[in-house]
């Protein structure tokens, strides 16, 4: 699954649902999103069938996302079903329902999770997510760490909102084997993005280095994050510099939305419907290959993304909640 720029694609992110039990301001538009009718969403068996086609084409890593993947009623069945495929299976979750799924994760071979938490302050959590679930998430992170799971904490850093907490997150890595990943704030439909709210990779690194002695760690091929450790600390931290230092040149990721549309890039305007032809008995392999050949070199073809002056007008995409980050 090579594209026109020589990039080989072996990583598929599948969104299980458009719904969520949080309302993060950077992801979910204030007035919500129009939800796809249930009959137009992929069923458990369609997810499995389409995922299997991707594995035949070379995918060997699948990440489940959403919306919040764990709010889907058949989330456990989906994880167990996909676990028989020859893939490394993982999940990105907001952590609220983790305690109900620890056994399923183990049975499905999911031993590493990405968990989103943008603040260590209860009141700020409520402001960002519009839900009072801070304690639940912290308790569940604790369950994961004590249960031997590898936990990466995703923190979307927004200037004027939570950039003051970068040191608190770094302190967390002192004694705990957590991996904190600071993510640059990205523009999507309805999330009121402005370049003034982006706290960049350079900003973050400068801030941390001004206080701590920091060592650079090796990044895996295709890594989206640049990893570091404060010397002597148990855990690590990283920055996902999607906006200011993109990693598009080594991108190996494809996306499948909950309603069965394939996106070749997080920022791609176009998408390829896989579910309808699949339901009609059409071989979707050529559609997948065609979609990959349309992949743009950088940021789905958006030029100079970090300097957009009116993202809502200049970007035509879905809201993040409808893509599956």
Q: Which residues of the chain form contacts with ligand SAM (CB under 6 A)?
A: 20, 26-27, 65-66, 68, 92-94, 116, 154, 156, 183, 185-186, 188, 191, 320, 325
The footprint of ligand SF4 (CB under 6 A) covers 20, 22-24, 27-28, 66-68, 94, 116, 321
Q: How far is the CB of 286 from ligand SAM (least distance, A)?
A: 29
Burial grade of 171 (CB within 10 A; 0-12, 13-18, 19 or more): middle
Q: Which residues contact 291 (CB under 8 A, 6 or more apart)?
A: 254, 262, 264, 271, 272
Q: How far is the CB of 156 from ligand SAM (least distance, A)?
A: 4
User: Which of ligand SF4, ligand SAM, none has residue 28 at its interface (CB below 5 to 8 Å by kind)?
Assistant: ligand SF4
Tokens found for residue 242: 């999607």
Q: Which is nearer to ligand SAM, 155 or 284 (CB)?
A: 155
Closest CA to 102 of 169, 151, 65, 67: 151
Tokens found for residue 261: 């549309």
> How far is Cα 50 from Cα 93, in angstroms, rounded to an integer?
22
> How far is Cα 217 from Cα 236, in angstroms, rounded to an integer?
9
User: Which of ligand SAM, ligand SF4, none has residue 1 at its interface (CB below 5 to 8 Å by kind)?
Assistant: none
Q: Which is nearer to ligand SF4, 3 or 18 (CB)?
A: 18
Q: How far is the CB of 279 from ligand SF4 (least distance, A)?
A: 26
Q: Which is nearer to ligand SF4, 23 or 88 (CB)?
A: 23
Q: Which is nearer to ligand SAM, 68 or 133 (CB)?
A: 68
User: Which of ligand SAM, ligand SF4, none has residue 154 at its interface (CB below 5 to 8 Å by kind)?
Assistant: ligand SAM
Q: Which phi and psi angles does 239 have, rounded to 5°?
A: -125, 135
User: Which of ligand SAM, ligand SF4, none has residue 186 at its interface (CB below 5 to 8 Å by kind)?
Assistant: ligand SAM
Partnered with residue 64 across adjacent β-strands are 14, 91
Partnered with residue 154 across adjacent β-strands are 116, 181
Q: Which is nearer to ligand SAM, 144 or 186 (CB)?
A: 186
Q: Which is nearer to ligand SF4, 116 or 158 (CB)?
A: 116
Crossing angle of helices 44-56 and 285-293, rounded to 10° = 70
């Amino acid at each position: 699954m090579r594209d026109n720029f020589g990039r080989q694609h072996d990583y598929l992110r599948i969104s299980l649902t458009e719904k969520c039990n949080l309302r993060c301001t950077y992801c979910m538009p204030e007035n919500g999103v129009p939800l796809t009718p249930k009959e137009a969403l992929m069923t458990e068996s369609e997810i499995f069938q389409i995922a299997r086609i991707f594995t035949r084409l070379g995918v060997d890593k699948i990440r489940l996302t959403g919306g919040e993947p764990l709010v889907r009623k058949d989330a456990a069945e989906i994880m167990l079903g996909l676990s028989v495929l020859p893939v490394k299976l993982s999940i990105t979750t907001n952590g609220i329902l983790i305690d109900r799924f620890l056994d399923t994760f183990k049975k499905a071979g999911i031993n590493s999770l990405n968990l989103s938490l943008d603040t260590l302050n209860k009141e700020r959590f409520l402001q960002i997510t519009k839900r009072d679930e801070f304690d639940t998430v912290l308790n569940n992170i604790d369950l994961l760490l004590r249960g031997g799971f590898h936990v990466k904490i995703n923190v979307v850093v927004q200037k004027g909102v939570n950039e003051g907490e970068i040191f608190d997150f770094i302190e967390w890595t002192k004694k705990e084997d957590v991996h904190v990943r600071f993510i640059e704030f990205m523009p999507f439909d309805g999330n009121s993005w402005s370049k003034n709210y982006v706290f960049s990779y350079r900003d973050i690194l400068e801030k941390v280095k001004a206080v701590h002695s920091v060592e650079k760690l090796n990044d895996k091929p295709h890594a989206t994050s640049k990893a570091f450790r404060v010397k002597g600390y148990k855990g690590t931290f990283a920055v996902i510099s999607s906006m200011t230092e993109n990693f598009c040149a080594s991108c190996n990721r494809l996306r499948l939305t909950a309603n069965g549309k394939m996106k070749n890039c997080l920022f791609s305007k176009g998408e390829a419907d896989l579910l309808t032809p699949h339901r009609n008995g059409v071989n979707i392999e050529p559609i997948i290959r065609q979609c990959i050949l349309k992949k743009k070199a950088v940021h789905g073809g958006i030029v100079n993304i970090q300097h957009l002056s009116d993202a809502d007008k200049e970007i035509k995409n879905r809201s993040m909640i409808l893509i599956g980050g």
